[in-house]
Amino acid sequence: MDALIIAAGYGSRLRDLSESKPLTPVAGKTLIELGVRQAMAAGARRVVVVTGHEGARVEAYLAQLSLSAGIAIHAERIADWSKPNGYSVMAGAARIAAMGGGDFLLMMADHIFSAEILQQLAQAGAADRGVTLGIDRRITSDLIDPDDATWVETGADGFIRAIGKTISGYDAVDCGAFLATQELPRAIAAAITEGKSGSLSDGMQYLADRGRAATLDIGQAWWLDVDDARAHALAEAEAPARLPEIYC
């Protein structure tokens, strides 16, 4: 299995801590190292990282990380990293397809997860879906930033009805981890053709409207979006205990 990590953005809310979000250290390990090693623990044998801002610096780091972690890491740089994140998904998915890959774990570089989340997602593929999203129904958790969260409304069958930062009705939050097929980048492209901005959520909604976007309820498992100084402090305090397979 492959993994795709989106690491192209500017990371403005972490700029006081680091000039590069994926290279931001958390208890001695960078966010991108955490992502790669978490993907490995879930069964990934190859990782594609989409780079953009500080691309050369991140790619040099990835080359060293590939050697130290013992996994193939392929950097795919996008020319305009200011575009919505769906463009990064399309670029990374195309690289995976060109290498003969199939379904892939999709992760955001600034999200970290307890091991069971990605391990369960890796086994969640089925013919009735084009994507499976990890969701958390603890929507009032102190670990969630309500001003930055992507919210999800699900149906009785657990499939997504609506997804986005501004939807009015929701019963879960997007954890930033997916098991995707090549239907997802095609859905993003189709949404762009329809006039959407090209965000990952646009592609997810396109699949949801066609009954192809499933969810995995993570239950009580731990995860964190390390998107600002507050979340970074929480990650520094909790990650070593929450991720023993990495911080050993």
List beta partners, residue 165.
Answer: none
- Write out pLDDT tens, residues 37-95: 999 999 999 999 999 999 999 999 999 999 999 999 999 999 998 999 999 999 999 99
Structural domain includes residue 247: no
List beta partners, residue 214.
Answer: 132
Structural domain includes residue 97: yes
Structural domain includes residue 52: yes
Residue 11 in this model has a pLDDT that exceeds 70: no
Per the structure, the count of domains in the chain is 1
- Write out pLDDT tens, residues 13-32: 666 667 888 999 999 999 99
% of the chain beyond a pLDDT of 90 = 88
CA-closest candidate to residue 95, choices 63, 72, 125, 64: 72
Residue 47 to residue 42: CA distance in whole angstroms? 12
Structural domain includes residue 6: yes
First CA to last CA across the chain, in angstroms?
A: 25
What's residue 13's pLDDT? Answer: 63
Place of tokens 């995976």: 96
- pTM, two decimal places: 0.95
- Cβ-in-10-Å burial (0-12, 13-18, 19+) of 241 comes to exposed
Structural domain includes residue 47: yes
CATH number at residue 80: 3.90.550.10
Structural domain includes residue 248: no
Structural domain includes residue 218: yes
Residue 10 in this model has a pLDDT that exceeds 80: no
Residue 56: CB atoms within 10 A of its CB come to: 10
Structural domain includes residue 78: yes
Show the domain range for 41: 2-242
Residue 107 to residue 135: CA distance in whole angstroms? 13
Q: What is the mean pLDDT of the chain?
A: 94
Q: Please, what's the b/e burial string for 110-135 (b: 16 or more CB within 10 A of its CB; e: otherwise)? A: bbbbbbebbbbbbebbeeebbbbbbb
Residue 209 to residue 26: CA distance in whole angstroms? 38
